[in-house]
Structure 1
Amino acid sequence: MDAPTLAEHTLRLHADDNVVIAMRDIEPGTYQLPGGGTLDVTDVIPRGHKLAVTPVAEGQPVRKYGQVIGFAKEAIAPGRHVHTHNTAFQMFDREYEFGVDTRPTQYVPETARATFQGIVRPDGRAATRNYIGILTTVNCSATAAKLIAERFRWDALDDYPNVDGVVALTHGTGCGMAGPGSESFEVLRRTLTGYANHPNFAGFLVLGLGCEVNQVSTLVEHWQIPEHKITVPMTIQELGGTRKTVAEGVARIKEMLPDVNKVTRETVPASELILAMECGGSDAYSGITANPALGAAADLLVQHGGTAVFGETPEIYGAEHLLARRAVSREVGEKLIARIRWWEEYTAKHGGSMDNNPSPGNKAGGLTTILEKSLGAAAKGGTTNLVDVVEFAEPVTAKGLVFMDTPGYDPVNATGMVAGGAQVLCFTTGRGSAFGCKPTPSIKLATNTPVYERMIDDMDYNCGLIADGGMSVEEAGREIFELVLRVASGAKTKSEELGYGDEEFVPWQLGAVM
């Protein structure tokens, strides 16, 4: 009986790779190689994991995507499973050739550009949703904020069909921290300001306790909020306690509702969109299917004049040299590398390593090191030029592909990009992340068909069709782009239907807790 063909069971991503990816579970045995010859597979290779196809000497690089993803801890023979037991992260030098891969963007003529049905605010900015927010300055006001928001659930908004909801944005900081001028304080203020300015909020309460470091009064007085946006500052101590605060908050929101409801959707060019891109619960398919497909969708949005932003600095570590090659200027490239150096120092100071990032779920899905994870994560950045690098929660103002410095923790990363102004978010997942991020709708993209089918109530799109051979990356990218436009026009995502998004506001907490 003829030996099975290895190519039918695996995928080779680059000619320089010394590993291939198992597209289904592979049992030990003899397999035919393309071009003749056989390979004796000695280990069980789980779906999504790596199989050595050439010898790798101890200390030598393991290559995937044509890039270094780790180094052999021992000699690895062809036919062996390549994973954490025999491959490790190791620092290595990368050459930063700023801008060598930049190329002119092929913009779609303005008369042919895509559109969506959005809400245009009086200041001209486009919104995809119409929320009222309760923005808390400190954890101490979180319960009161949730009690207020709870009064507007279920059928309480039936008379206001154009209001998407009332959301309490609570968090665990705001006091017990260094004050004005400190990094932690300024990051929190920048995040709160970004949400207050977000076009998807028509109005909001700003709710504090009264004695916290992050004072409502000083926060609000320095804001440059559009005049049309309804803003009501409140503190629990001034109002006389929780019951009175809840009653006052409910009353003030009821006053807002008639005006907030007075919106209509109209045709808006896609160039007004800022698309946030996130990957969480990654697996080996993330860098093969969903992230490249999302990158193709981002390329289309940029070609239509819009903006795509992605972050998770620890999850581009080892791939940053590829992004630097696409930087439009040396200044932009050096901003990116400066953030990489900051993270190296930050993790070392706290006794960690950049390789701490891959989670147990990532590893179970076939990802071995942060280098491998990063190369797959960076794929969602598409192929267009990198036009800017911004700080966490800093406003995204450039058109094109932008990188934001954020942690790899999904809720914190998403919070930063939404604070930066993103009105739609695409979230790729291989293990099955459950997520939402009000006021910005979150579109879930499954990397593989089993996860899509198992979590059909959470997933909006199946990028596993690429691995199954039923679709190309470019075709999936086109469909994701069109899905983004539909969601921007008001179509509900699965996470919105399930009610996700109230608990995922997580500002990046830096510095000591005092």
Structure 2
Amino acid sequence: MMTEYIQINTADNVAVALHALSKGMEIKVGDISLELMEDIPAGHKIALKDFAQGDMVIKYGFPISHAVASVKKGYMLNEKNVKTNLSGLSTYNYTPKFDKQTFVNENRTFKGYLRDNGDAGIRNEIWIVPTVGCVNGIANQLAELLRTETGCKDVDSIMAFPHNYGCSQLGDDHENTRKILRDMVLHPNAGAVLVVGLGCENNQPDAFREFLGDYDTKRVRFLVSQRVDDEIEEGMKLLREMYAIASKDKRTDVPLSKLRVGLKCGGSDGLSGITANPMLGVFSDYLIAQGGVTVLTEVPEMFGAETLLMNRCRTEEIFNETVSMINDFKNYFIRNDQPIYENPSPGNKAGGISTLEEKSLGCTQKSGSSMVEDVLKYGDRIKASGLNLLSAPGNDLVASTALASAGCHIVLFTTGRGTPFGTFVPTVKVSTNTQLYEQKHTWIDFNAGTLVEGENMETLSRRFIDFVIDIANGKKVLNELKNYREIAILKQGVTL
């Protein structure tokens, strides 16, 4: 049976319209009966009481804003009549609270590619990675030539990943570029990687080679364009040799414990925290129970809900690392004379999200209820099983690239507004509402909107778990089929 509206937590003094509701409609929430005094779009909040100026607005059981004007019962609460409660930096205390986990290890497997170093990939692709933006054209041409020559018959894809950086950068920007590119070169979804350099860039190919550490010298090769007479001829020679190696790789049974999944949302709406994000939270808890890894990022979209994550940190040391991650990002805003809480976006507001607290409380539900096991800095690679937190901004492409670079095989991306993009690993779009799924069937891979149309969470999440395992087995998602694949690297400082 379809539900028209919901009170998420019994402490809430707002309800959320799950579908567009008309003025004059009678609704009943617990002991409260009221008439809607205006049309309420899907995802937007309905006042369940008369709000005076300064009254707290409660959603998800927590304050998400305060009223800046009086709002009568039955009217809509949005960014025009409420305001964030957040301001400045915060101090935190470690008060751990761990929920009992209900999933057990089912000893499931997926068909993956076992690598010599013990990692497993869910794709067997050939990548061409430039050390510097100056050779983007060479990388693109080499990828196109190899695709034409081979038809990609025996590998999953052949891709170049152009970017703007690798030279004229200083300090952290330079290191961030090197780290992200290093992490790509070592990613197990690649059966072979050709690193294409120019020769005079800041990101010197020889130094970058050392920066990689241990790597398979048969599957990772270097081409320095200034050192050869014909870079296309030399590049194709190397690529043919690597293709011959990668084309022999076969899928085999791999324990689900080796699967690493990134959690991301973008273009969120008022249903994100009700349908898709809680479903990802269930998936996260399930995968962790199998011994796998999930990674949550978008630090600015933890602000206002960060204590929920901090109190799930397994140790006080991890708690302190989480505090540093949060405060470092807040200070990043302050250093650049920007408001810390200038969020949500126009699209979020149109979808029913009015303040950052509201957005964050919905966003963090993607992490489920498992303990936080590690905190990763930008460019770090996954070390610990379980739930990880990763320092990266909310920007969709930058954050998704960071998740993939950390070692995630897949990025699960929930959205209420829709987006076509993908990063260099399968980027699975999950809609928060059925209307988006039906309208943008060329963008959206999975619909979580059925949760408010009669399907229960257990059935929905089980379908989704099987769907993700199918992707690990080789099922291509829409960003792969459409060839929407790119990278974006965080830049903060001076360009020379």
Match of 1:457 in 2: 442
Separation (CA, whole Å) in 2 of partners of 1:266 and 1:364:
46
The answer (yes or no) to whether the contact 1:99–1:328 under 8 Å persists in 2 is no
Match of 1:4 in 2: none
Deviation at 1:231, TM superposition (A): 2.2
Match of 1:136 in 2: 130
Deviation at 1:229, TM superposition (A): 4.9
Separation (CA, whole Å) in 1 of partners of 2:81 and 2:475:
47
The answer (yes or no) to whether the contact 1:298–1:481 under 8 Å persists in 2 is no
Separation (CA, whole Å) in 2 of partners of 1:115 and 1:188:
34
The correspondence for 2:163, drawn from 171, 175, 183, is 171
Match of 2:213 in 1: 224
Deviation at 1:76, TM superposition (A): 2.1
Q: 1:35 to 1:117 in 2, by over 3 A?
A: closer
Separation (CA, whole Å) in 2 of partners of 1:162 and 1:19:
55
Match of 1:215 in 2: 204
Deviation at 1:106, TM superposition (A): 5.5
Q: How does 1:31-70 map to 2 (within 5 A)?
A: 31-34=26-29, 38-70=33-65
The answer (yes or no) to whether the contact 2:3–2:452 under 8 Å persists in 1 is no
Deviation at 1:308, TM superposition (A): 0.7
Q: 1:373 to 1:32 in 2, by over 3 A?
A: closer
Deviation at 1:87, TM superposition (A): 1.2
Single out whichever of 415-424 and 34-43 deviates more from structure 2: 34-43
Q: Which runs of 5+ in 2 are unaligned?
A: none
Separation (CA, whole Å) in 1 of partners of 2:269 and 2:64:
14
Question: Scaled by the length of structure 2, what TM-score is found?
Answer: 0.95
Deviation at 1:472, TM superposition (A): 1.9
Separation (CA, whole Å) in 2 of partners of 1:88 and 1:60:
11
Deviation at 1:104, TM superposition (A): 5.9
The answer (yes or no) to whether the contact 2:277–2:365 under 8 Å persists in 1 is yes
Single out whichever of 318-327 and 21-30 deviates more from structure 2: 21-30
Q: How does 1:279-428 map to 2 (within 5 A)?
A: 279-428=265-414
Deviation at 1:392, TM superposition (A): 1.2
Query: Within the alignment, does 1:278 sit opposite 2:273 as a pair?
Result: no
Separation (CA, whole Å) in 1 of partners of 2:32 and 2:268:
34
Q: Percent identity?
A: 33
The correspondence for 1:156, drawn from 149, 152, 167, is 149
Match of 1:235 in 2: 224
Deviation at 1:89, TM superposition (A): 2.0
Deviation at 1:19, TM superposition (A): 1.2
Q: How does 1:449-488 map to 2 (within 5 A)?
A: 449-469=434-454, 471-488=455-472
SS in 1 for 2:112: strand
Match of 1:3 in 2: none
Separation (CA, whole Å) in 1 of partners of 2:6 and 2:182:
46
Q: 1:35 to 1:223 in 2, by over 3 A?
A: closer
| Amino acid in structure 1 at the alignment position of 2:491 | Q
Deviation at 1:34, TM superposition (A): 4.1
Q: 1:483 to 1:229 in 2, by over 3 A?
A: farther
Separation (CA, whole Å) in 2 of partners of 1:136 and 1:35:
59
SS in 1 for 2:150: coil
Deviation at 1:506, TM superposition (A): 0.8
Separation (CA, whole Å) in 1 of partners of 2:101 and 2:74:
43
Q: 1:60 to 1:342 in 2, by over 3 A?
A: farther
Separation (CA, whole Å) in 2 of partners of 1:54 and 1:354:
30
The answer (yes or no) to whether the contact 2:377–2:390 under 8 Å persists in 1 is yes
Single out whichever of 417-426 and 264-273 deviates more from structure 2: 417-426
The answer (yes or no) to whether the contact 1:291–1:380 under 8 Å persists in 2 is yes
Separation (CA, whole Å) in 2 of partners of 1:212 and 1:365:
45
| Amino acid in structure 1 at the alignment position of 2:470 | R
The answer (yes or no) to whether the contact 2:3–2:453 under 8 Å persists in 1 is no
Q: 1:404 to 1:246 in 2, by over 3 A?
A: same
| Amino acid in structure 1 at the alignment position of 2:442 | D
The answer (yes or no) to whether the contact 1:336–1:389 under 8 Å persists in 2 is yes
Q: Size of the alignment, in residue pairs?
A: 494
Q: 1:382 to 1:8 in 2, by over 3 A?
A: closer
Separation (CA, whole Å) in 2 of partners of 1:229 and 1:79:
67
Deviation at 1:35, TM superposition (A): 5.5
Q: Which runs of 5+ in 1 are unaligned?
A: 1-6
Deviation at 1:210, TM superposition (A): 2.1
Separation (CA, whole Å) in 1 of partners of 2:30 and 2:282:
32
The answer (yes or no) to whether the contact 1:131–1:164 under 8 Å persists in 2 is yes
The answer (yes or no) to whether the contact 1:311–1:403 under 8 Å persists in 2 is yes
Separation (CA, whole Å) in 2 of partners of 1:8 and 1:128:
38
The correspondence for 1:15, drawn from 10, 20, 38, is 10
| Amino acid in structure 2 at the alignment position of 1:214 | N
Separation (CA, whole Å) in 2 of partners of 1:20 and 1:421:
39
The answer (yes or no) to whether the contact 2:27–2:36 under 8 Å persists in 1 is no
Structure 1 vs Structure 2 CA RMSD: 2.0
SS in 2 for 1:77: coil
Q: 1:356 to 1:247 in 2, by over 3 A?
A: farther
